[in-house]
């Protein structure tokens, strides 16, 4: 009988499968280990390469900031020197010394010179220097700085005529325009040598590891410093110098080559794997220590910031894009009088908004929702007790660490004290103006008595004649009305004249609040004409006026402008006391500028004029050229004109003397018709 077939091959197949699985896992682990051995050195190389590149970028940024810091110091020194030159405070010797000191402090500078508008050398750091010749690019830059009134650099270029110590060097000029008012005084020109920028400002340790180059916009080399030889072009970085008017880029090229793979990979891998566990424990301990230290520092920083915000006197308010308040500090709560829990989280209208200004608040809030905000404005808040607090608000976008705007941040200042000071100053100005008017009347009191004596004497003469006529009538003689009536009319006219003089004085010295209204210049002159003519006759001066009949009125306080006219005309009369009688003519001329909607009034004398040393301090308080003067007349006049939104200036009269001009806003034709 044949035995049945055996099933023994099946167990061998299962054993082969199990063996394959047992070998597969070690192979996979070995392959994984080999892959790690190959990947780790490559990764280390990449990390080292990236680290070198990042270090080069950081060092380049530091060098660029160092160069700009030093050049910024030079720019500040030059601007300060330019201000003193424009003010005329320096003698020629002091100017040379200041320029030499600037040149000594900045070794990168080759020359500092002051060129006048006509190109003539006004001063130089080298007293024996030849006349300065600017390159075409530098002259173009000088023209731009004159128009813009802003300092600028020229594009660096090779020049050979500046200094014998640096022939054919690449130089760069820095122009600082000089102005005295609107007068252009030339340029203060400082010349940099581009190679000296690298030699003086690049640290030696950085130059030992890198080739440092300055290039222009076309990558043309302007200067180069390679203490350790040329760079390899592996690690490079460019950083533009922020120079207005010039395009200069700082290029660094490291002398280091790419990192090599670690030698003896197997030994290195075994050591790394052996130390891996210890390193991981130390790293974990270090991480925990750093985390605890960071948390402690964060708590300390938060406590410090909270204490700092609580000690501020400036109110802080944060709002989201919907206008909801998200944060306020204690100073803000003190200003508005509400606690933080009653304000935070609220949407407008806010409890500290006043009812009478609700429309203003709503309009400003609508602009905030539209993404527009007024950076700075004045308003007032209302406290719970009804007290109004004037505040100055600064608004700025609130941006998170990702650069996304999340709301608006506001700084609020309580300006109650400033408003009170402004009110006190206004009251003091009014008192000062009233005192000036009284002083003016005191100066002309004797002339006023003489002027009133004439109409009073005439009245006495005419009334005496009338009494004589009446006496003859009582002696049975017929009454001569033809003689009596003209005498009485002349007496009445002289009485009216005396009354007009007294009313003018009374209106001029009467204390009252400033009242702006539409006033005609001709009417202003008529109101004080008697006082002006009184002083003019006393000094034998002819007083003339040229007022166009269609001259529009101005919106001003009548008494304040009358005081300005009286002070200016009195100064003009006094200025002509020592000139020939035929030249003693005082003119008041008015005109209208339709484009600017301004009325201009000129007080023109032909006196001795104003010297330059006096002109600089003419409007200064308590400065006077008169022995008995207080030095407040012209200062008060300018303050009064500026109070009305105008300006008071003066200039020399071509015919001799001075022309004082004040400009006031004209009343629009529509407003005049409504009035």
pLDDT over threshold 60, residue 259: yes
Go through 320-340 and write b for each residue having 16 or more CB atoms within 10 A of its CB, e for each that does not.
eeebebebbbebbbebbebee
pLDDT over threshold 60, residue 311: yes
- Cross-strand partners of 211: 253
Distances (CA, A) of 595 to 229, 647, 664: 68, 17, 14
Question: Contact 233/210 with Cβ under 8 angstroms?
Answer: no
Query: Distance between CA 315 and CA 17 in Å, rounded?
Result: 79
Question: Contact 396/409 with Cβ under 8 angstroms?
Answer: yes
Neighbours of 366 (CB within 10 A): 12
Question: Contact 472/457 with Cβ under 8 angstroms?
Answer: no
Which candidate, 559, 557, 565, 600, places its Cα nearest to that of 586? Answer: 565
- Give whichever of 478-487, 518-527, 636-645 has the largest mean pLDDT: 518-527
Mean pLDDT value of segment 12-39 = 61
Query: Distance between CA 237 and CA 253 in Å, rounded?
Result: 7
Percent of the chain residues past pLDDT 90, beyond the cut:
6
Mean pLDDT value of segment 308-315 = 75
- Cross-strand partners of 411: 316, 394
pLDDT over threshold 90, residue 600: yes
Confidence tier at 261 by pLDDT (50, 70, 90): low
Confidence tier at 660 by pLDDT (50, 70, 90): very high
Q: What tokens does 257 get?
A: 């080559």
- Give the model's pLDDT for residue 664: 92
Confidence tier at 386 by pLDDT (50, 70, 90): confident
Mean pLDDT value of segment 412-428 = 78
Tens of pLDDT, residue by residue over 120-154, are: 888 888 766 667 778 888 888 888 988 888 999 99
Residue 629 φ/ψ, nearest 5 degrees: -80, 150
Angle CA 79–80–81, to nearest 5: 90
State the chain's mean pLDDT as an integer: 77
DSSP string for 42-80: HHHHHHHHHHHHHHHHHHHHHHHHHHHHHHHHHHHHHHH
- Give the model's pLDDT for residue 286: 75
Q: Which residue has the higher pLDDT, 664 or 40?
A: 664
Q: Where are the alpha helices (DSSP H) in 510-542?
A: 521-538
- Give the model's pLDDT for residue 8: 43
Mean pLDDT value of segment 191-219 = 85
Query: Distance between CA 282 and CA 275 in Å, rounded?
Result: 10
Mean pLDDT value of segment 451-478 = 61
Confidence tier at 168 by pLDDT (50, 70, 90): low
In angstroms and rounded to an integer, the radius of gyration of the C-alpha atoms of the chain is 44
pLDDT over threshold 70, residue 404: yes
Q: What's the farthest any 2 CA atoms get from each other in the chain? A: 204
Mean pLDDT value of segment 444-467 = 58
Tens of pLDDT, residue by residue over 522-531, are: 888 887 787 7
Tens of pLDDT, residue by residue over 320-372, are: 888 888 888 888 888 888 888 888 888 888 888 888 778 888 888 888 777 77
Q: Which residue has the higher pLDDT, 558 or 475?
A: 558
- Give the model's pLDDT for residue 561: 85
Mean pLDDT value of segment 263-272 = 55
What pTM value is reported for the model?
Answer: 0.37
- Give the model's pLDDT for residue 479: 56
- Give the model's pLDDT for residue 151: 92
DSSP-derived pairing of the beta strands 221-225 and 210-215 = antiparallel
pLDDT over threshold 50, residue 392: yes
Question: Contact 243/142 with Cβ under 8 angstroms?
Answer: no
- Give the model's pLDDT for residue 128: 66
Neighbours of 415 (CB within 10 A): 16
- Give the model's pLDDT for residue 629: 43
Question: Contact 554/585 with Cβ under 8 angstroms?
Answer: no
Confidence tier at 673 by pLDDT (50, 70, 90): very low
Q: Which of 96-110, 229-243, 254-268 has the lowest mean pLDDT?
A: 254-268
Mean pLDDT value of segment 397-420 = 83
- Give the model's pLDDT for residue 262: 52
Mean pLDDT value of segment 403-411 = 84
């Amino acid at each position: 009988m044949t035995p049945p077939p055996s099933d023994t091959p099946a167990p061998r197949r299962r054993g082969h499968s199990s063996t394959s699985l047992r070998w597969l896992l070690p192979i996979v682990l070995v392959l994984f280990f080999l892959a790690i051995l190959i990947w780790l050195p490559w990764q280390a190389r990449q990390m080292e390469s990236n680290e070198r590149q990042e270090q080069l970028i950081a060092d380049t940024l530091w060098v660029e900031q160092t160069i700009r810091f030093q050049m910024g110091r030079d720019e500040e020194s030059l601007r300060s020197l330019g201000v003193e030159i424009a003010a005329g405070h320096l003698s020629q010797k002091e100017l040379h010394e200041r320029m030499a000191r600037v040149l000594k402090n900045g070794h990168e500078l080759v020359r500092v010179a002051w060129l006048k508008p006509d190109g003539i050398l006004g001063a130089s750091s080298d007293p024996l220097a030849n006349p300065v010749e600017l390159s075409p690019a530098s002259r173009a830059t000088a023209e731009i700085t004159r128009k813009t009134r802003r300092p600028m650099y020229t594009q660096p270029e090779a020049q050979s005529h500046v200094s014998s110590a640096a022939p054919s060097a690449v130089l760069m000029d820095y122009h600082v325009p000089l102005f005295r008012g609107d007068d252009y005084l030339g340029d203060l020109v400082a010349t940099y040598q581009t190679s000296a920028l690298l030699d003086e400002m690049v640290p030696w340790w950085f130059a030992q590891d890198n080739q440092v180059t300055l290039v222009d916009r076309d990558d043309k080399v302007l200067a180069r410093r390679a203490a350790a030889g040329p760079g390899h072009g592996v690690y490079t970085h460019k950083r533009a110098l922020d120079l207005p008017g010039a395009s200069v880029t700082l290029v660094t090229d490291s002398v280091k080559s790419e990192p090599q793979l670690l030698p003896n990979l197997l030994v290195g891998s075994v050591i790394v794997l052996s130390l891996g566990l210890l390193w991981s424990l130390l790293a974990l301990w270090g991480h925990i220590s750093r985390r605890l230290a960071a948390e402690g520092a964060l708590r300390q920083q938060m406590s410090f910031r909270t204490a700092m915000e609580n000690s501020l006197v400036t109110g802080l308010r944060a709002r989201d894009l919907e206008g909801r308040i998200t944060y306020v500090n204690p100073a803000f709560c003190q200003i508005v009088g509400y606690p933080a829990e009653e304000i935070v989280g609220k949407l407008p209208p806010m409890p500290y908004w006043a009812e009478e200004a609700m429309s203003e608040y709503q309009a400003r809030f609508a602009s905030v929702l539209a993404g527009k905000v007024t950076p700075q404005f004045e308003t007032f808040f209302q406290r719970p007790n009804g007290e109004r607090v004037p505040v100055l608000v600064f608004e700025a976008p609130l941006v998170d660490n990702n650069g996304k705007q999340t709301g608006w941040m506001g700084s609020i200042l309580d300006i109650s004290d400033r408003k009170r000071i402004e009110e006190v100053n206004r009251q003091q100005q009014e008192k000062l103006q009233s005192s000036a008017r009284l002083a003016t009347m005191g100066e002309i009191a004797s002339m006023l008595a003489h002027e009133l004596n004439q109409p009073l004497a005439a009245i006495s003469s005419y009334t005496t004649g009338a009494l004589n006529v009446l006496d003859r009538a009582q002696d049975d003689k017929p009454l001569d009305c033809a003689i009596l009536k003209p005498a009485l009319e002349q007496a009445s006219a002289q009485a009216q004249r005396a009354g007009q003089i007294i009313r003018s004085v009374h209106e001029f010295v009467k204390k009252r609040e400033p009242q702006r209204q539409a006033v005609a210049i001709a009417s202003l002159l008529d109101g004080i004409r008697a006082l002006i003519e009184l002083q003019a006759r006393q000094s034998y001066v002819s007083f003339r006026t040229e007022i166009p009949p269609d001259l529009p009125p101005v919106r001003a306080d009548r008494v304040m402008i009358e005081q300005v006219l009286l002070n200016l005309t009195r100064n003009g009369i006094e200025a002509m006391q020592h000139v020939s009688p035929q030249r003693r003519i005082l003119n008041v001329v008015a005109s209208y500028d339709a484009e600017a909607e301004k009325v201009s009034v000129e007080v023109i004398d032909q006196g001795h004029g104003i010297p330059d040393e006096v002109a600089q301090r003419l409007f200064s308080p308590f400065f006077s050229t008169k022995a008995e003067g207080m030095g407040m007349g012209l200062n008060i006049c300018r303050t009064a004109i500026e109070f009305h939104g105008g300006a008071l200036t003066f200039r020399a009269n071509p015919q001799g003397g001075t022309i004082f001009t004040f400009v006031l806003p004209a009343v629009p034709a529509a407003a005049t018709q409504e009035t």
